[in-house]
Structure 1
């Protein structure tokens, strides 16, 4: 599957908008549901033309933030601006955004062309013009020739594309995507990740993508905001989020890092600080192996070996803590639970974090 690499003029981003422009800005935004603070004092600046991911577990506030931008919810405090214009009190249909939902929300009694053109019809556009734009949008998502079919005649991936075309045809300045790939199987989801990113790059639109899947966020986005308990705990590029997590929550939620308490880190040759040690930074050796100078090492007992295809995940008991190591599958072939092993890593693999307790 593929998408056009050049945007159609009618749907592409405004060429007069600079990438340094703020597309969406949150300033001290709070949203309560009874006693629950779903969004708790969020400050955020999303740049024009970027693919921005909101990542976090269920109930962390990311979807509520998306709904606040869309206008489906209103903040209890703070302000939201879209391209420098405050949107307080502006209804969803008058905002320069469109939303793609996980369940697609297609009309089952309409064919695909009419589904895509529906928003233009509501706005009063004549039939000829709206069908022209709808066909153009279907071309962007490689669904030319599907115009007369009904949603029930399409696969899940094709229905997702129709929902995407229906949102794009309205020429939004910002496209909001609420876990749109969640209902797809793994292979199709991976294909659509590539296609969505290619389409966003071609069109130059601002995409705000909500997900709880760290793989989606890291592989697709230009920047990621990690949410927890209604707050943003870190914003950065995928590399920054993964390689330099700010605190314990980010380290463990994104990539499942080993977190070493200050006293343990000091005993293992690191700084007396809270540190993150990624599983793939740890090497697994036979017990008693002599290692090159400069590596930190610790003797351990293998607890479990999990085969994951190209890699194996080794869980080891180091006495005072357990460590997880991810190594090429061929390197630990035959390793059994209960076997003595030696783990090692370079000092630079220890990343110092904020102690958030």
Structure 2
């Protein structure tokens, strides 16, 4: 079976800026795939290339085996959900959802029935006659999602659709989107700069930086085994240890990622097992973060951050020993 989306050495330039620079990837049918990266990294341009809003300057794009470059958006079996929702305020909810079907010439009775089904799918059954101004932000997001799904796309593109929601609603919608994608079985391609969002929702994640993909893998792959200092820093929080420090504290002579939650803090008198690395230091900061506490410790070479369960009795200037399994030290490339 052909990939749902295939990029082969795709580039897109805007003047002298290479927004997308030689990107190659395959997104499988039925996959929830996240494009993750900071602003300006190329992820949104890739989404627009799939949608047909942009055309590549170089390379080849396929959607389910069909050549996509040169194909206008309306001839691609994809739909996009935008961050700002782009709903029509003069239309009812039902009319908004059915708009794309009306443009295609679908009969009124059929498009109304399909809009009703799509709204029920996103838990807005009975909202057909409401005005969009009467809806909450989360409800407007669902209407935008229903409007995209009513056309029966093979690929659904989501451009940071949860960015305008508050934290609690965003977490709720993350769960609902994941559940919806699983039940529908269609390919979701999700753009976000939120690392926790990508890790919690996607089957696989492509991490972008400077127009290039710097790592692709499952959420656990990219978190537990970052391949570069950029990935270690960007995906979650990490202590990026220089080669000299890593080699003298239980690891290899390479740039190394050590996640804060893998570190334990023990008294200076504690005995450290042979399969653990360790470093002595002085607590320089204690930051309470609800379920956990972030502790910064100045060692003889560099500051190291540990995340421990809340309720610690540690204070600034306490002398401690940091210890961690040597297996938690992940050697990386020298790249940024």
TM-score, normalization: structure 2?
0.98
Q: 2:267 aligns with which of 286, 305, 322?
A: 286
Residue 339 of structure 1 is matched in structure 2 by 318
Residue 350 of structure 1 is matched in structure 2 by 329
Cα deviation for residue 288 of structure 1 reads 2.8
Please, which runs of 5 or more residues in structure 1 have no aligned partner?
1-19
**Is 1:233 aligned to 2:233, yes or no?**
no
Cα distance in 1 for partners of 2:189, 2:32 equals 6
Cα deviation for residue 292 of structure 1 reads 3.5
Q: 2:291 aligns with which of 294, 307, 310?
A: 310
Q: Do the aligned partners of residues 320 and 252 (structure 1) sit closer, same or farther apart at CA in structure 2, a change above 3 Å counting?
A: same
Conservation of the 8 A alpha-carbon contact between 2:10 and 2:60: yes
**Is 1:160 aligned to 2:144, yes or no?**
no
Q: How many residues align?
A: 336
Cα distance in 2 for partners of 1:145, 1:270 equals 60
**3-state secondary structure, aligned to 2:125:** coil
Cα distance in 1 for partners of 2:304, 2:296 equals 6
Residue 15 of structure 1 is matched in structure 2 by none
Residue 67 of structure 1 is matched in structure 2 by 48
Structural mapping, 1:1-357, within 5 Å: 21-330=2-311, 333-356=312-335
Deviates more, 1:270-279 or 1:285-294: 285-294
1:182-224 CA-to-partner distances (Å, cap 9, x unmatched) read 0000000000000000000000000000000000000000000
Instruction: Tell me how large the CA RMSD over aligned residues is.
Output: 0.9
Cα deviation for residue 336 of structure 1 reads 1.5
Cα distance in 1 for partners of 2:30, 2:307 equals 36
Cα distance in 1 for partners of 2:106, 2:45 equals 32
Cα deviation for residue 36 of structure 1 reads 0.8
Cα distance in 1 for partners of 2:291, 2:280 equals 25
**3-state secondary structure, aligned to 2:19:** strand
**3-state secondary structure, aligned to 1:22:** coil
Cα deviation for residue 289 of structure 1 reads 2.3
Cα deviation for residue 21 of structure 1 reads 3.5
Cα distance in 1 for partners of 2:298, 2:185 equals 49
Conservation of the 8 A alpha-carbon contact between 2:98 and 2:115: yes
Cα distance in 1 for partners of 2:178, 2:327 equals 32
**3-state secondary structure, aligned to 2:232:** helix
Cα distance in 2 for partners of 1:91, 1:273 equals 47
**3-state secondary structure, aligned to 2:4:** strand
TM-score, normalization: structure 1?
0.93
**3-state secondary structure, aligned to 1:115:** helix
